[in-house]
Amino acid sequence: MAQQMMEMPDMSNAIVAQDEMGRPFIIVRDQGNKKRVHGIEAKKTHILAARSVASIIKSSLGPRGLDKILISPDGEITITNDGATILSQMELDNEIAKLLVELSKSQDDEIGDGTTGVVVLAGALLDQALELIDKGIHPIKIANGFDAACKVAIDQLDKVSDDIESNTEILLRAAKTSLGSKIVSKSHDQFAKMAVDAVLSVADKERKDVDFELIKVEGKVGGSLEDSKLIKGVILDKDFSHPQMPKRIEDVKLAILTCPFEPPKPKTKHKLDISSVEEFKNLQDYEQNKFKEMVQQVKESGANLVICQWGFDDEANHLLLQNQLPAVRWVGGPEIELIAIATDGRIVPRFQDLSPEKLGKAGKVYELEFGTTRDRMLVIEECSNSRAVTCFLRGSNRMIVEEAKRALHDSLCVVRNLIRDSRVVYGGGSAEITSSLAVSEAADKQQGIDQYAFRAFANALDTIPMTLAENSGLDPIETLTNIKSRHVKEQNSNLGVDCLGKGSNDMKDLFVVDPLIGKKQQLLLATQLTRMILKINDVIITGKDEY
């Protein structure tokens, strides 16, 4: 038996084992796994995996979209209807489904709004592609057809777009549109004004650009959403280092330090032996003198407030109080940088480098107290560089504050996009319907298989208005049919789904708008992702073929 086992051929995918009686048998590796799938079958599997993810967030589209509760592995709860947030917190095993997460992230990074819509559109395109594959059309033909149809749709969006003058009123109304589907919709007037004021404060009108680094969004639990406000300056989740320091300072000159109030230490390992009271007294005097020297250097520079990145002990704190020098400690690196930008100050790494010209300047600094709680925050207002602003959000619990931050981010992005490009298309699915009609018309002029891909692309575009109607409690097919027929009869490309029951389907009258660059980006990203998935026929993990 042993001789027979020795002469067995080398089987790299098999293991020879013995049972309890000593009889040999062969275990073929991956015997229990499913059969590998290649080619068209693999593509179908990939499409089904991606489609299942898209179907999860489909119900969150539009102003009547539903929220999702996301529970993290450690039990933390998030309630949101933001597509990018939902997908980023989902645990997905399938690599193709993870591409949809990357898709929503791309839309969020580039445009900031429309993260749910882009995933729903990608899912619809994959649905249509699956039907064409079942008809025997080659995936590359479908991908090329979708690409050509996307160009037609984008050309149509350019034709129907309106160039609106980006004045404050227009920006306010656009910001309200983006907040309509969010948890803050009850306070959308206030949040829209906050978003517009914040963006206009930091916008560079000449370059038509907005530096989001200058807009800080800070949240604090307590109060209601109506208590949220825009602060022209910086707000820190800190308070003064000593409770007896003044709570308000006018005409502030800040010393922004990244060096601690501590005696210098040798760079190498050191050991200090103290054997008598005199030696201890000498050491104490040395430390005292060093602290006094540091405080004196700060005072000589003309500073009347110290912002320090590091902490300092009680002795240094007491000396600062004695010398009437208010201080804030443990201020993080990003906050230090923002304070330096806002106050036109320089970050100083050594006390010896302090000088009057390196100090930051602000009109006032004061502590913000919250009712009966001991929570305090520090507000630096009327900074010399007035372009830095902070959106301070309140809410009854942490989940509402976090959702308010996400909603405000989307609104800020919409306003920024309109400053970059003031062209808009109208919402409520009207942009998708007019693009769908244009692609259907172009399909009649196509030769061969391309016309199937064009019609499939048009059907996928119809999914957006149908989903909006479904989420709003309307009959999706009847609503879409009526609006499409009115588009053709009235030659009005602004007609969309009346999600809020305002009694009008003309989105221009209701001023439901989307920035043109955001809508174009949605179409391009969804089409490119579909093309990418159609070109994948196998997934390989650590050298093994998987499907």
Which residues are designated catalytic?
Answer: 82, 115-116, 410
What gap in Å lies between CA 225 and CA 94, rounded to an integer? 39
Beta bridge partners of 70: 78
d(CA 511, CA 4): 83
What number of H helices and E strands is found in the chain? 17, 21
Bridge-based pairing state of the strands 360-369 and 376-383: antiparallel
460 phi, psi to nearest 5 deg: -65, -40
Q: Quick one: CA dihedral 320, 324, 329, 331, positive or negative?
A: negative
Quick one: tokens of 40? 């068209």
Q: CA 154, 156, 162 angle in degrees (round to 5)?
A: 100
State how far the Cα of 443 lies from the Cα of 132, in Å rounded to an integer: 15
Using alpha carbons only, what angle is made at residue 45 by residues 41 and 49, rounded to the nearest 5 degrees?
170
Nearest-5° Cα angle at 254, 250 to 255 = 155
Q: Find the angle CA(481)-CA(482)-CA(484) to the nearest 5 degrees.
A: 65
Sign of the CA dihedral with 45 first, then 51, 56, and 57 last: positive
- C-alpha span between 431 and 462 (Å, rounded): 10
Task: Report the C-alpha gap between 403 and 470 in whole angstroms.
Answer: 24
Sequence letter at residue 50: A
* 541 membership: H or E segment, kind and range: strand 539-541
Reading the block at residue 541, the tokens are 């993990």
10 Å CB burial of residue 169 (0-12, 13-18, 19+) is exposed
Kindly report the length of the chain. 547
Distances (CA, A) of 182 to 33, 482, 497: 44, 28, 18
Residue closest to 389 by CA, chosen among 208, 160, 163, 235: 235
CA distance 141 to 132: 10
**Residue in this structure with the two tokens 């800040």, named with its chain if needed:** 254
**Is 171 within 8 Å of 415 (Cβ atoms)?**
yes
Burial environment of residue 107 by CB neighbours within 10 A (0 to 12, 13 to 18, 19 or more): buried
